[in-house]
Structure 1
Amino acid sequence: MINGMQHLPSTEAAVTALRAIADEYALEIEVSHDVGADQTSRRSAAGVGVTTDPDGSLPHEAFAEFGGVPRVTVRLYPDDDALITVEGIECPDIPRDDVPAFLRSVFGGLAYVKARRFPPGYRLVVPLPGDRTHKEYVPMILLSPWLSGRVR
């Protein structure tokens, strides 16, 4: 634990945390793994047949899709960050250690959509520990029923 947060040193540890969250909220989860520099999305320049990074490590990336509403997917990158998509809204560059707290805010009902009158617009707001929040712009055309139900 670091500052009261669980430290997820590897992609596999992060996947284990995702499975625990799925159990906690009684959600189905489907996980796929990409292992090797030639398989991971951020290493497309690795070349054909090259599986390790220049330092000899074997990069491991995972993609998890949660069942139910809201629709949530998580792509865990080998670089200790993640891309979380909530109802089609991409939240990039989430530190791997913040992923469990982010998902608990979404599944636990703490996340909301903030409406702004002028200029008109919407933002998905996800509270995180330590009085931090993650905010992401939401185009009006992408307001799903789940997002619309959380507008403040």
Structure 2
Amino acid sequence: MTPHPSLPTTESAVAAMRVIAAEYRRPMTVTDDIGADRTSRRTSAPLFSVTDPDGSLPHEAFVELGGSPAISVRLFPEDDAEITLEGVVFHDVPRDHVPPFLTSVYSGLAFVKGRFFPPGYKLHVPLPGDETYEERVPGVSLTPWLSGRVR
């Protein structure tokens, strides 16, 4: 896994994701929302206002990657992202961690661990540098992709 440079903008993160999608031969669709009146976290923006009070133009993107596993990424203007992997939602992932997260998943490093008590499963996605994201898998049944990664 190669390290990814700092991603200062939503557009740079989308460009990095395009490279990964091409490398792993995954189709990718991007929906952009640009302007304070269009981004999801700017609900308090004044009517017809497209810039933030500091004059900046916020940019949010929603990315869907095709194939298995099912992955979608919402990139927020505040330098973080929400990644949904096979129905498991990872909140507040730093924008810089999105490319290594995807590379980890596509290279087969992600895994699921189950517990008898309390019952349930957790999806683990390890990143370079001893960082691992883990989230509880909702429900009691696993998708075929998740089932294939149980340890």
Query: In structure 2, how many angstroms separate the alpha carbons of the residues matched to 1:77 and 1:63?
Result: 9
Letter in 2 for 1:135: E
CA offsets 1:110-136 (integer angstroms, 9 cap, x no match): 001111122111100000111110000
Per residue, is there more helix in 1 or in 2? 1
Task: Indicate if the aligned counterparts of 2:120 and 2:140 stay in contact, CA closer than 8 A.
Answer: no
Q: Report the TM-score, using the length of structure 1 for normalisation.
A: 0.94
The alignment's C-alpha RMSD in Å is 1.1
Q: CA deviation at 1:140?
A: 3.4
Query: In structure 2, how many angstroms separate the alpha carbons of the residues matched to 1:147 and 1:138?
Result: 9
Query: In structure 2, how many angstroms separate the alpha carbons of the residues matched to 1:120 and 1:139?
Result: 11
Q: Report the TM-score, using the length of structure 2 for normalisation.
A: 0.95
Task: Indicate if the aligned counterparts of 1:88 and 1:142 stay in contact, CA closer than 8 A.
Answer: no
Partner SS, residue 20 of structure 1: helix
Partner SS, residue 93 of structure 1: strand
The runs of 5 or more residues in structure 1 that have no matched partner are: none
Identity %: 60
Q: Provide runs of 4+ in structure 1 moved above 3 Å.
A: none
Establish whether residue 29 from structure 1 lines up as the match of residue 33 from structure 2.
Answer: no
* Higher RCO (CA 8 Å, separation ≥ 6 residues): 2
Partner SS, residue 98 of structure 1: helix
Letter in 1 for 2:26: L
Alignment partner, residue 111 of structure 1: 110
> Number of paired residues?
149
Alignment partner, residue 147 of structure 2: 148
Letter in 1 for 2:109: L
